[in-house]
Amino acid sequence: MAHVDRQTWDVVVVGAGGAGLRAAIEAREAGMRTAVICKSLFGKAHTVMAEGGIAASMGNANENDNWQVHFRDTMRGGKFLNQWRMAELHAREAPDRVWELETWGALFDRTADGRISQRNFGGHEYPRLAHVGDRTGLELIRTLQQKIVSLQQEDERDSGSYDAGLKVFQECTVTRVLKKDGRVSGVFCYQRESGRFFVLEAPAVVLATGGIGKSFKVTSNSWEYTGDGHALALLAGAPLINMEFVQFHPTGMVWPPSVKGILVTESVRGDGGVLRNSDGNRFMFDYIPDVFKEKYAQTEAEGDRWYEDPDNNRRPPELLPRDEVARAINAEVKAGRGSPHGGVFLDVSTRMPAEVIKRRLPSMHHQFKELADVDITAEPMEVGPTCHYVMGGVEVDPDSAAATGVPGLFAAGEVAGGMHGSNRLGGNSLSDLLVFGRRAGLYAAEYVAALRDRPAADPRDIDAAEAEALRPFSAEGGGQHADRGPAENPYTLHQELQQSMNDLVGIIRREGEMAEALERLAELRVRARRAGVEGHRQYNPGWHLAIDLRNMLLVSECVARAALEREESRGGHTRDDHPDMDRRWRNVNLVCELADTRADSGEADPALGQIRLSRRETPPIRRDLLELFDKDELVKYLTDEELSR
């Protein structure tokens, strides 16, 4: 233990995407010495992949827009399972978070009168997404990165050191949140480059680690998305909610195989792109669900008119929320009306002149040209569903982003649960990152400022974390589990996990398959104990993957267990054996907690389930928020008993 370097900070932020960087800025501006830890280089976080835009009801493109309309759309998109207070705060604060970015140097696309341009997106009633072509995430991450650099420049002027008040530890990974007497005391980390361990002692830790997509085979997510924050929270004793809700984005690339899953932005549809099956039909008109019947065009002619005259026409069904579109594509392919490589056709070439396509969708034009030899200005794309986003995550207090039951632990962005309910609307992620990233940083700073004493990291916990991280090096010969079987290749284990989750807990779910998934996960957990690596600790990807497997196996079990339990279909959870939405399930959150607090400390039996599931009723929606909806609509979601309250 003595050889593990220890540093003291006020707030530690885990993750340097939109939520993490926004949290760090807020904590630093509140006077806290703040450390950011990220797995990749500074500025490479998965947020750069976001394409379409940031949803905020600024009303620049349609003055009828306001936070109440945005709130309504968000609740509808999430099928009313959303933590309504989070949805309210998000809708109210998103415009301020976008405007603030301009004061830090962001350059959004403009309207004719010089304000921030806003585009249409699925599930949003008005054009609402602030954007920069189709590279909005890059603009967001670069703006936050440059704001952080500007704060570091201030610190350098004042103290002579860029890193005095705000430091980024890049290419470092946290493997444990440390606690003392129930409160957060810091994090245990390793540095990628050297393999060296270190501890950052801090009374407040903000988890901003993003999602879990790397547990699935076909995904739009990068290698970083291994559910680290979800697992760190579980291991620290904080519950996760809504883990059964996984968003499959309807349009990922399907060919060539090596790029299968890479995202095709929803802006393609927002700007006029249409979906067709192999018969050439715009099949989405056949898939408008009852709850949305009044809000979507019934004919192609009406849908086409909407782009020019949205006040007198209804939007085309290509712009239904993502869960609806993904299921429809899945059904078309299954019915034998798919494209040659197992997707459907997404076409802009017949809808817009080539020059407009290149200007509005430059990344898509580039991506298809370079990776698939497809010129999207001349021919349709082939697209199909891809695992994109997890709605579930750490249960948090809606106002402060504090995790339940672990003082000092906060979570923001994709790793936090509740905000998006059962399905997230496009564009609501970037705004979520900014709104709740800021809140997490603010309340973490408040929490630290109010402390009278700071919990110290326990040397025994540091030793245990070190032993856990080093276990893959002793898996072969002489290791404590060597007697149970040969060392396992972590890459093979990862591939088997991804295949299992894809096949058995994917976009359409069945009871028997999910039960089988749980059995396979148990078997993989046993084998993962023997995941071994070659070589040494310096920049060793095999070792890093062996460590990440713990996290992926934990969150995969959460997804499978919760999905098996929820016997209805809603948003990002579709049960073949329970195809209807059931109002009695609306106010039920499924809560995942660690079944055995020794889980994966080397003592718990990996063959046994690691996750305990319970049900929690959500608080009733505040009356003034309910009154934003017509009663006719509410009866589709709320039980008669809830309505009569």
Partner 1 sequence: MSERQANQRAGAYQAHFRVWRGDADGGGLTDFEVEVHEGEVVLDIIHRLQATQAPDLAVRWNCKAGKCGSCSAEINGRPRLMCMTRMSVFSRTETVTVTPMRAFPVLRDLVTDVAFNYTKAREIPAFVPPADLGPGEYRMQQEDVNRSQEFRKCIECFLCQNTCHVVRDHEENKDVFAGPRFLMRIAELDMHPLDAAPASGLDRKSTAQDEHGLGYCNITKCCTEVCPENIKITDNALIPLKERAADRKYDPLVWLGNKIRRRTE
Site string for partner 1, 191-210 (x = CB under 8 A): --x-----------------
Active-site residue, selected from the candidate residues 269, 360, 438, 583? 269
Of the candidates 608, 607, 505, 618, the one whose C-alpha atom is nearest the C-alpha of residue 565 is 505
Contact call for residue 355 and partner 1 (CB under 8 A): no
Candidate list 5, 64, 107, 350; residue touching partner 1; CB under 8 A: 107
**135 is a contact residue toward partner 1 (CB under 8 A):** yes
Nearer of residues 222 and 502 to partner 1, judged by Cβ: 222
371 binds partner 1 (CB under 8 A): yes
- Does 138 bind partner 1 (CB under 8 A)? Our answer is yes
Query: Does the protein bind partner 1 through residue 161 (CB under 8 A)?
Result: no
Site for partner 1 in 78-97 (CB under 8 A): 95-96
Q: Where are the alpha helices (DSSP H) in 398-540?
A: 428-449, 459-470, 490-504, 511-528
Q: Provide the minimum distance between the beta carbon of 18 and partner 1 in the complex, in angstroms, as a whole number.
A: 14
Amino acid at 580: D
Nearer to partner 1 by C-beta: 419 or 533?
533
Residue 183 known to be catalytic: no
How far is 36 from 449, CA to CA, in rounded Å?
A: 19
Q: Does 105 bind partner 1 (CB under 8 A)?
A: yes
Under rule CB under 8 A, residue 323 binds partner 1:
no
> What's the first-to-final CA gap in the chain, in angstroms?
58
Phi/psi for 6 (5° steps) reads -125, 135
Stretch that binds partner 1, among 34-42, 121-129, 312-320, 431-439 (CB under 8 A): 34-42
Q: What are 245's two structure tokens?
A: 């809700």
Tokens of 537: 């600790």
Cβ within 8 Å of residue 545, ≥6 positions away: 490, 491, 494
Query: Is-catalytic flag, 525?
Result: no
Report the alpha-carbon angle 339-340-341, nearest 5: 95
Strands (E), 468-610: 588-594
C-alpha to C-alpha distance for 642 and 132, rounded to whole angstroms = 42
DSSP secondary structure, 365-414, as one string = HHHHHHHH---TTTS-EEEEEEEEEE--EE-B-TTT-BBTT-TTEEE-GG
Please tell me whether residue 285 binds partner 1 under the rule CB under 8 A: no
The C-alpha angle 27, 447, 434, rounded to 5 degrees, equals 40
**Contact track, partner 1, 238-277, x by CB under 8 A:** -----------------xxxxx--xx--------------
Per CB under 8 A, contacts with partner 1 among 494-513 are 495
Task: Give me the least distance between CB of 312 and partner 1, in Å please.
Answer: 28
Identify which of residues 310 and 542 has a Cβ nearer to partner 1 in the complex.
542
Q: Which range touches partner 1 (CB under 8 A), out of 222-230, 386-394, 401-409, 439-447?
A: 222-230
**Shortest Cβ distance from residue 645 to partner 1 (Å)?**
38
Output 3 or 157, the one with its CB closest to partner 1.
157
* 317 secondary structure, DSSP code: G
358 binds partner 1 (CB under 8 A): no
Q: Which amino acid is at 627?
A: E
| 363 contributes a contact to partner 1 by CB under 8 A | yes
Question: Residue 552 carries which side chain, given as an amino acid letter?
Answer: M
Query: Which one of the listed residues 249, 365, 530, 586 is annotated catalytic?
Result: 249
Least distance from partner 1 to the Cβ atom of residue 222, Å: 5
Q: Give me the least distance between CB of 282 and partner 1, in Å please.
A: 28
Among residues 551, 472, 563, the alpha carbon closest in space to that of 514 is found at 563
Peptide bond into 380 cis (omega under 30): no
Q: What angle do CA 603, 175, 599 make, to 5 degrees?
A: 25
Is residue 82 within 8 Å of 74, Cβ to Cβ?
yes
Q: Which residues are catalytic?
A: 249, 269
Residues that bind partner 1 (CB under 8 A): 40-44, 46, 48-49, 58, 95-96, 99-100, 102-105, 107, 109-110, 113-115, 117, 132-133, 135, 138-139, 142, 146-147, 149-150, 152-153, 156, 162, 193, 222-224, 255-259, 262-263, 363, 366-367, 370-372, 489-492, 495, 533-536, 538-543
